[in-house]
Amino acid sequence: MTIITPREWLGLQATHNPMRWFLPITPAVSVRSRFLFGGAALAAATTVLEETTGRPVVWATAQYLDFAPVGEVMDLDVHISVSGQRTTQARVIGHVGEREIITVNAALGSRDLDIEESWPIPPPVKAPGECEPREYDYAAESMGKSLDQRFAPTTGDDLGGPTGHGPGRLCAWTKPPDGVQSSAATLAVLGDFVPMGISSMASAKVASNSLDNTLRIIDVFPSEWYLLEIEAAAIRNGFGHGQLRIWGDDGRLQAIASQSVIVRERTRRR
């Protein structure tokens, strides 16, 4: 199988300046061939941060400021604030001309410590082969449709919610395209599905777009399938909030993500 790097998956390009990269906004990294998918934007930022600093991302938070329509090119400028012996604090500003699209603050690094512990346990779910594929009601190319995504019913007590995991909770197996490496970029894309959880829980048909996305990486492990354990917390005053855990198919926790979104009633689909 051909290995696809995060750069290749996203279409990310380097320049002669090691602190500047650019990302053509194509349908492959878009929402419904309209504008840049937020998870792809954060994935691009984590990739340029890791490649520029030579250190792995520990934590990254994105603030989404504007849309970047398909056909535009977003520049990503890396700013290193502090670089210590083990940890780097840095940020990325993604912009189209003078229009700022995304700002990402991050910490990167790795420290020697013999203690490795993880307390949450993965939810009981059916295997991917026993789950129905997610169906889309639109034909346009998009980042989301490039993923094989399957809602994962519980194998335990049915506690309610779309997949039986309880009110406000939704579990979905997700498989990136064949050959895509496990990476911080992969986790950044998968961490952008809190809006799917919110729209699945809402009592009316709603659409949403992200205000932010915070990704906390425990570790990156090779995995064919990733289990997204999504918990939609609330909708109030036109905003929604939630979080998710990303599990590898071996049951190990890889990352935690959280988001706030603008929620609107859906008037039409296309």
Model confidence at 268: pLDDT above 70: no
The CA–CA distances, whole Å, from 37 to 40, 168, 198, 213, 259 equal 5, 24, 17, 12, 14
Tell me whether residue 115 is in a domain.
no
Question: Measured in Å, how far apart are the chain's first and last C-alpha atoms?
Answer: 35
- Residue of 201, 227, 199, 220 whose CA lies nearest to 120: 227
Write out pLDDT tens, residues 156-169: 999 999 999 999 99
Distance CA 190, CA 19 (A): 26
Residue 117 lies in a domain: no
- pLDDT at position 139 is 87
- How far is 205 from 75, CA to CA, in rounded Å? 35
60: containing domain: 6-110+123-265
Q: What separation in angstroms does the CA of 1 have from each of 149, 175, 179, 189?
A: 21, 15, 6, 22
The CATH number linked to 72 is: 2.40.160.210
CA 229 to CA 197: how far, in whole Å?
A: 9
C-alpha dihedral sign at 1, 147, 46, 66: positive
220 near 50, Cβ under 8 Å? no
Nearest residue to 48 via CA among 74, 84, 87 = 74
Asked if residue 175 belongs to a domain, the reply is: yes
For residue 270, tell me if it sits in a domain.
Answer: no
Kindly state whether residue 248 falls inside one of the protein's structural domains. yes
**What whole-number percentage of the chain has pLDDT above 90?**
93
In this predicted structure, what is the pLDDT of residue 138?
Answer: 86
Q: Report the domain count for the chain.
A: 1
**DSSP structure string for 97-144:** TTEEEEEEEEEEE----S-------PPPB--GGGSPBPP-S--S--TG
> What CA–CA distance (Å, rounded) separates 5 from 39?
16
To the question of pTM greater than 0.85 for the whole model, the response is: yes
CA atoms within 13 A on the CB side of 160: 5
Residues 67-92: tens digit of each pLDDT: 999 999 999 999 999 999 999 999 99
Identify whether 235 is part of a domain. yes
pLDDT of 270: 40
